[in-house]
Amino acid sequence: MQLDVFLKKVSINHALNMLLWHIAEAGIEIAALIKQGALAGVTEKMTSTNVQGETQMQLDIRSHEVALAQLRASAVVAAVLSEEEEKPTMLETIDAPFLVSMDPLDGSSNLAINGVVGSIFSVLPNTGVSTLGEQAFLQPGQDQRAAAYIMYGPATLLVLSIGQGTHIFTLDHHSQAFVLTQQTVTVPEETSEFAINASNQRYWQAAVQRYIGECLQGKEGPRARDFNMRWCASMVMDVHRILTRGGVFLYPHDNKQPVKAGRLRLLYEANPMSLLVTQAGGESITGQGDVLALQPTDCHQRVPVLLGSKQEIQRLRDYHQQIHPQATE
Ligand code: AHG
Ligand code: MN
Ligand code: MN
């Protein structure tokens, strides 16, 4: 079943369907650019940095432009917040029903090694951006109307939730259309695989030290089984692995740079991915609290993210409660 047919079947919101169709079109265009790699010059670094102070790749900017053009063309988006721009872009359709925040290209350090990258989108209701300005984006993740990512791997995938489960579509390169290939994904509850950037270990808090320490002890430790480890340096790819075969993905609070609570951005990484994972039966927390319940305070705010299989995230929540009972995260 093609994406447009699927959307008509599950959602009667014409404006939302239109928006999701344009997000998918952005994914198809970005996939074509990525496929050309150095031949399209898109894997080169720019001299510019984004609002996070990170060096941009050409493709970060091209992806931002492609996605913005598609969102504008949908005519149902009032404003767009992007990782690549400090301020949201207000569109001509300022009273349209939706706001979109996006990471146009996630995992872009992987471009240089021909690794997997993705695009992430979060759809919020427009609660009055014409008067509130960028404050209108500061809505908790549980208010999202939809979330999606596109994964540019060996196959190009669209993973989507409109709050009725999480579904996977695969791009058919012949028809240039996304086709439903897995309806209602379920994250296995238990797992023996974890993903964390272990080079930050000395900066982690005690709860995460304990959790990972016990995993590493394997059969001989309190978990009484061996664990496996993966790290893709692309949240899209790590989350996709968790959706398909379970596991946990952790970018925890660390004291490497105390001004940053975690590496990942709430509005265009943590929130959309948390919706997709929880709609597939997984969980997503900052420590003790749910990511989706967090009230944002800044458009580019960073948060700790611990997400994946239910039982493992529950264990992490317990460890945080026991070890850091005063902390809100
Ligand atoms: P981006 O390329 O949009 O800046 O995001 C990269 C993010 C995320 O995708 C990934 O999980 C993480 O940064 C990688 O972090 P490390 O550099 O610590 O591996
Ligand atoms: Mn990212
Ligand atoms: Mn990015």
Contacts by residues 41-47 (CB-CB < 8 Å, ≥ 24 positions apart): 42/111, 43/111, 43/112
Pocket probe for ligand 1: among 234, 256, 266, 267, the residue whose CB has the most ligand atoms within 8 Å is 234
Q: Quick one: pLDDT at residue 72?
A: 98
CATH classification number, 3-182, choose in 3.30.540.10, 3.90.1150.10, 3.40.50.1000, 3.90.79.10: 3.30.540.10
Residue 329: per-residue pLDDT: 58
Give the position of tokens 């529950």: 314
CB 152 within 8 A of CB 31: yes
Cα(306) to centroid of ligand 2, in Å? 15
- CA count, 13 A, side-chain hemisphere, 253: 18
Q: Would you tell me how many other CB atoms lie within 10 Å of the CB of residue 149? A: 28
Residue-level pLDDT at 328: 56
Crossing angle of helices 235-245 and 271-278, rounded to 10°? 10
Report how far residue 117's alpha carbon sits from residue 9's, in angstroms, rounded to the nearest whole number. Answer: 30
C-alpha distances in Å from residue 281, one per residue of 149, 206, 222, 257: 17, 27, 26, 32
Q: What is the pLDDT along the chain (329 residues), one digit of tens a residue?
A: 999 999 999 877 999 999 999 999 999 999 999 999 888 876 777 767 777 777 777 899 999 999 999 999 999 999 999 999 999 999 999 999 999 999 999 999 898 899 999 999 999 999 999 999 999 999 999 999 999 999 999 999 999 999 999 999 999 999 999 999 999 999 998 889 999 999 999 999 999 999 999 999 999 999 999 999 999 999 999 999 999 999 999 999 988 877 777 899 999 999 999 999 999 999 999 998 999 999 999 999 999 999 999 999 999 999 999 998 776 55
**Residues, CB-to-ion distance under 5 Å, ligand 2:** 103, 106
**DSSP code at position 204:** B
Q: Is the dihedral of CA 234, 236, 240, 246 positive or negative?
A: positive
Q: Give the number of the ligand closest to the Cα of residue 115.
A: 1
* Phi, psi dihedral angles at 179 (to 5 degrees): -120, 135
- Residue 23 has what pLDDT? 98
Predicted pLDDT of residue 54 = 75
d(CA 67, CA 223): 44
Ligand 1 proximal residues by C-beta, below 6 Å: 54, 83, 103, 106-108, 197, 233-235, 238, 263
Tokens (6 digits) for 308: 């994946």
* CATH fold label, 193-323: D-Maltodextrin-Binding Protein; domain 2 (3.40.190)
| Contact predicate 305/250, CB 8 Å | yes
pLDDT confidence of residue 14 = 94
Q: Are 164 and 9 in contact (CB under 8 A)?
A: no
Per-residue confidence (pLDDT) for residue 206, from 0 to 100: 95
Residue 56 CB contacts under 8 Å (≥ 6 apart), including other chains? 45, 46, 48, 49, 50, 84, 108
Domain edges within the chain: 3-182, 193-323
